[in-house]
Structure 1
């Protein structure tokens, strides 16, 4: 009996106007990414910027809880500058102070847990010293996680597609899927490593395999979230931030061993979502055109051991 193979579903046609990366970026600005006209006046306080973000990037309909909020700081202070980043690490905080920026718009937690719940950190010296640094320098940390993901299209996914040079192939009707001219997996990995400054790529698959259709999914991916996309669209390659090694990774290893032309590329969670924070810095310039705005990459969280032999 022959093996059952997934058949790709034809993608919906894009609107005629969406023929280039730049014009598609304009499409995003016309949708949820658009900064309200009233907010384009020079903001005086941190709160002015936060109100503009909340107005232009609403949460998904029906949302009852969110991690998006001020984590530390007083928003009713004069705005001196804005930093966007994935994580407000101590290195990022020190650079923000050096740049005289007092608002940090961050994507991930400040205090090490998904909800920034600090109840378990009472008395912890690392938490205490980091918080003291933030408060001593008058910084305001605003979490922007759920709002940018709720944009149409998802601002983080749009950011990585743009960063990898595939903006012209981005289809807003099927934002997870990108079709490209046949390109070897090895060439794609080399390009991703260079453009995302990602030295620690991991992959499953044959580097000589030609890739035509990709599933782009930054951040964490569960097996349950990946499988329906693969069944419907039959991509050749998944580019993801991370997945559980004991879950989806084993599925892809078996798929390759069984002769399916499949591959997966892991960049690391932070590396995959950093372009969304970089794009956020560009977006904020429409809200605060006279304010210094910078994106500071958080960088890889871990160092790589030089080789398996230790040399």
Structure 2
């Protein structure tokens, strides 16, 4: 080291960072355990030699170093006491782990036990899917191979459900069209119908009704509101219209997941505050629809 560097170092004493203080304190703590008769200054000055490069070491012991070192000593003692208290439980866990079967032994027992492919899927299917997504499965195997592994009753049931859902949607649309043709819209001069025709109709989205209930609601409120009935079994991104004044879900007949999907779609459309879940019977639902129609003036 040059003379100029030595002079500069003497003029500007080394200032340790928090990390360096921690390292020196830990080394000094170990020194104090192995050399209990040595003073604190000796432990610190010797400990820094083990953790710091020469240019970061302090040349002389200073009284101002006592408090930072003492604080870190107290923290180290606290951590080691906690570790000592936890050591019996750690030993017990280690002892229990020694009696656990090894991976090879477990696989051998499963194979020798005669697990079928179906049982392997039951026990480890979820674990396999965490390693391989459904899209990767479809990419690896042909559609015919995948279909051959699905039981025929389940496959047929899924197909029938799709057909029934399509028929339900068609029935809803046909019912709405018939109601629009049968229910009079009013001529603007005959009391209630006239008033309904003079003001804009609220756009109400309903979820959870069956066809018979849809027909009754349409007949009663078809001239007071623009009603949209959503099939809860086939919720898609376009199930909820882009614009709606109220989204009313019959909570008694919709699952938690279906409610979450509808709520997310409402939030996506920008009217999450218009989402509402009705808990009660059909009569109460009808009364709530009547309230919504009456509040839109």
- TM tier relative to shorter chain: under 0.3
Q: TM-score, normalised by structure 1?
A: 0.20
Query: Greater share of helix residues, 1 or 2?
Result: 2
Structure 1 or 2, whichever has the larger Rg, is: 2
The answer to which structure, 1 or 2, has the higher relative contact order (CA under 8 A, 6+ apart) is 1
Query: Greater share of strand residues, 1 or 2?
Result: 1
